[in-house]
Amino acid sequence: AQCLFSPGTSPSAGARRAENREQVHLALLKLSDHDRDVLMMRFLEGLEVEEIAALLELTAGAVCARQLRAVRHLRSLLDEHDF
């Protein structure tokens, strides 16, 4: 028999995705504005490090350091919720 739904389209999978999005959103709100801005520009807007550096008037190294710190902080916040 042919499967009517792909494994990722079940109602429970959709609910899990929505819950995961909410947890990430709440964790992002706990970051400093500077850290959140770098993550948003890098991962949501798809900007390169050099582009972010120019926009924020920072060196590329400073952007990389800020990105690393922000990712580590975000990971620790998500780990607190067993994400």
Residue-wise pLDDT for 15-74, tens only, equals: 888 888 899 999 999 999 999 999 999 999 999 999 999 999 999 999 999 999 999 999
Question: For residue 3, is pLDDT > 60?
Answer: no
As a whole number of angstroms, the distance between CA 52 and CA 47 comes to 6
Contact partners, residue 77, CB within 8 Å, separation at least 6? 27, 30, 31
As a whole number of angstroms, the distance between CA 48 and CA 82 comes to 30
Question: Which residue, 39, 44, 45, is CA-closest to 68?
Answer: 39
